[in-house]
Amino acid sequence: MKTYKREIITIIKNQFGIQDVNEADELKLLGIDSLGSVMLIAAIEETFDIEFSMAELNPAVIKTVKDVINIANKHLGGKRLCG
């Protein structure tokens, strides 16, 4: 099963002008605040033509790049990253 890790990381880099992003990075430490998170989710939804539920968008759940990748993979039929 495919993981959409590379595509999600590319969206983050392009959306926020960040050069170095990896799955363990915390969104907050990348400078992505709550408004940035909304913009990121909107970009992912638009890119992949998917829609996240409100429960999935809980800031207590989405803290790292890996969290974003896992949620997107769930919708796209991709592989969940462990850990």
d(CA 63, CA 65): 7
Is the pLDDT at 83 greater than 60? The verdict is no
What does pTM read for this prediction? 0.86
Mean pLDDT for 58-70 is: 89
Q: Which residues lie below 8 Å from residue 19, measured CB to CB, with a gap of 6+?
A: 13
Domain ranges of the chain: 5-76
Q: What is the pLDDT, as a whole number, of residue 57?
A: 81
Distances (CA, A) of 6 to 13, 58, 65: 10, 23, 11
Q: What is the pLDDT, as a whole number, of residue 55?
A: 82
Domain range 5-76, its CATH number among 3.40.710.10, 3.40.50.10190, 3.40.50.410, 1.10.1200.10: 1.10.1200.10
Closest CA relative to residue 19, chosen from 8, 9, 27, 32? 9
pLDDT class of 77 with cuts at 50, 70, 90: confident
